[in-house]
Structures are given as C-alpha cells and as structure tokens.
Amino acid sequence: MPLVVSSATSLLTVLSFFLFPCPGIWVALPNQALCLATIWVATLLALRYKRIEDQIKASLREKEMLLRELHHRVKNHLQVIESLLRPQAGSAKDPHDLGLFKES
C-alpha cells in the first residue's frame, strides 16, 4: 500500500520514522530533520530535472541529425535537377530561354 503524506507535519513524521527510529530524538532535532527533508526533496527535484534535461538533449541531437539528413537530401536533389537542366540549356537558342536556364 503506498504511503500518502497530507501535510508538512506528516512528512516530517514519516521522515522521522525512517531517519530517527527513536521518537525522543525527533523532539530534540526538529530543525535537523527539516533540513534533511529539504535536502531529500531538493535531491529528488535535481534528479528529475537532470532526467528531463537528458531527454531534451537527446531530442535535440535527434533533430539536429534529421536536419543534417534533410539538408543532404535537398542538396542531392538540387544537383540532380541541375544535371537535368544543363543539357537542355546547351540546346536552347532563344536568349530569353537561355536566361531562364541560367537563372535556374
């Protein structure tokens, strides 16, 4: 059964059970237990943010790789189009048509 904590006081009570099994120590060290709880929560948050940051970095690497692949394919397709237009440009006689081939 999962442990449900409904308030800061209950959280400290739960932490005191795990960190300080003797109830008398809890009364003597409330600030230390609160400090430990704060460190515990901060550690959990730091781990969560690190996991999220790693996921974002992995996503960015994947998108950069896909963008490089897209750039490579577009460049290859443009070279194919240019190689198809070059012979036709050589056979064009009209100056207007020659200008269109040069422009493309």
- Pick from 15, 60, 68, 59: which is nearest to 41 by CA? 15
Q: Which two tokens stand for residue 48?
A: 């969560």
What pLDDT is recorded for position 42? 84
CA gap 48, 95 in Å, rounded = 66
Residue 1 lies in a domain: no
Residue 81 lies in a domain: yes
Residue 14 lies in a domain: yes
Residue 95 lies in a domain: yes
Identity at 77, one-letter amino acid code: H
Give the residue, 97 or 4, on which the prediction is more confident.
97
C-beta separation of 34 from 16 below 8 A: no
Residue 55 lies in a domain: yes
Establish how many alpha carbons lie within 13 A of residue 26's alpha carbon, considering only the half-sphere containing its beta carbon.
Answer: 16
What pLDDT is recorded for position 88? 76
In tens, the pLDDT along 6-55 reads 444 455 555 555 544 444 444 444 667 777 778 888 888 889 999 999 99
Residue 85 lies in a domain: yes
Residue 73 lies in a domain: yes
First to last CA, the chain: 71
Which position has the token pair 């009209």?
94
What pLDDT is recorded for position 6? 47
In tens, the pLDDT along 67-86 reads 999 999 999 999 998 888 87
What pLDDT is recorded for position 26? 45
Q: Which domain holds residue 94?
A: 8-103
Domains identified in the chain, total number = 1
Residue 94 lies in a domain: yes
pTM > 0.85: yes or no: no
What pLDDT is recorded for position 10? 52
CA gap 3, 20 in Å, rounded = 18
